């Protein structure tokens, strides 16, 4: 899994930061890309990456503020001209369907692929045999959500020495044994997968939080995730502004990461009032609360390990 940040600013675009969007690339796992938020000019940002719009099959909107959705109609329209014919599923709060359909209708836009709307509420909103996505409501004046993506654990690696003890030679039989709980060999021997594989490989877990004030119950919900992506609209010195505008400070996010014992914190949705030197100073202060963390930039890429 790889994360590409397409827009890391808050409210309005700046010369250095576009408004909110990020891509979760799962090309090796399932040949798909999932988009989280789609602020204005997201499609322009995508053109500066290797992401192919036709690979984007699911779009998750955290909330309906313009800096998170105004790029969506344009992206959906352009996708029709970029070999995008597969269905796109749109997950988001109430109002998403009306916004998209009204915009497409009034602009005379016709898509050459189906849109499927998936209104969300708290709990599991998508699940298949490999992955699960859950949503949790946040606090931001209008309905705003966090999304948690959880891969299923993978079966551990085959142990050649144990297979050799059972008389199993390397070959296609290895794949059969890996894919079945019990395999009967030609000589009648039963091979139970659990006896010839190592420990399961834990699936990746990522939490992506929309705009929000601190939420007490969020720590339990994101507990132990590999990566927490959280807004950091303000630095701690501007705590009152964060309260006034229903946002979080970077320090709020760091305290959440510490309490939830996450592995890595990526700070996103950053006000354009802060220059890079201020963010570097803030990062140094935050590391006394939680580490590792980083303020992300547009086109920052992060591999989830």
Binding residues for Zn(2+): 63, 65, 67-68, 140, 211, 269
Residue whose token pair is 């192919």: 52
| 90 closest CA partner among 79, 81, 161, 41 | 79
Residue 215: phi and psi, rounded to 5, are -125, 120
- Contacts of 257 by beta carbon, 8 Å cutoff, 6+ apart: 228, 230, 265, 290, 293
d(CA 258, CA 182): 42
Q: What is the DSSP string of 146-210?
A: EEEEEEPPBPPPB-HHHHHHTTPPSSHHHHHHHH-SEEE-TTS-EEEHHHHB-SPBPPPEEEEE-
67 as an active site residue: the answer is yes
In the chain, what is the straight-line distance between the N-terminal and C-terminal CA atoms, in Å? 8
User: Active-site residue among 37, 67, 226, 298?
Assistant: 67
Annotated binding site: 63, 65, 67-68, 140, 211, 269
Residues marked active site are found at: 67
């Amino acid at each position: 899994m790889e994360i590409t940040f397409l827009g890391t600013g808050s409210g309005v675009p700046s010369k250095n930061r576009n408004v909110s969007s990020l891509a979760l690339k799962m090309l090796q796992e399932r040949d798909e890309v999932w988009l989280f938020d789609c602020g204005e000019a997201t499609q322009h940002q995508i053109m500066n990456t290797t992401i192919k719009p036709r690979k984007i099959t699911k779009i998750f909107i955290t909330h309906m503020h313009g800096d998170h959705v105004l790029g969506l109609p344009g992206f959906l329209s352009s996708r029709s001209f970029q070999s995008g014919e597969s269905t796109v599923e749109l997950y988001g709060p109430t109002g998403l369907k009306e916004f998209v359909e009204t915009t497409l209708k009034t602009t005379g836009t016709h898509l050459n692929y189906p849109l499927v709307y998936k209104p969300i509420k708290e709990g599991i909103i998508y699940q298949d045999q490999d992955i699960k996505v859950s949503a949790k409501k946040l606090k931001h004046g209008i309905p705003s959500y966090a999304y948690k993506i959880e891969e299923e654990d993978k079966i551990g690696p085959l142990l050649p020495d144990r297979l050799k003890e059972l008389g199993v030679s390397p070959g296609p039989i290895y794949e059969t044994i890996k894919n079945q709980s019990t395999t009967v060999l030609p000589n009648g021997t039963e091979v139970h997968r659990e006896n010839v594989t190592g420990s399961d490989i834990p699936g990746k877990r990522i939490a992506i939080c929309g705009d929000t004030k601190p939420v007490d119950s969020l720590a339990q919900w994101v507990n132990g995730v590999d990566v927490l992506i959280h807004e950091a609209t303000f630095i701690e010195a501007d705590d009152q502004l964060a309260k006034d505008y229903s946002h979080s400070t970077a320090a709020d996010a760091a305290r959440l990461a510490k309490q939830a014992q996450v592995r890595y914190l990526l700070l996103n949705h950053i006000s354009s009032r802060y220059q890079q030197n201020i963010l570097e100073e803030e990062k140094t202060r935050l590391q006394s609360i939680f580490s590792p963390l980083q303020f992300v930039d547009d086109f920052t890429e992060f591999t989830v390990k």
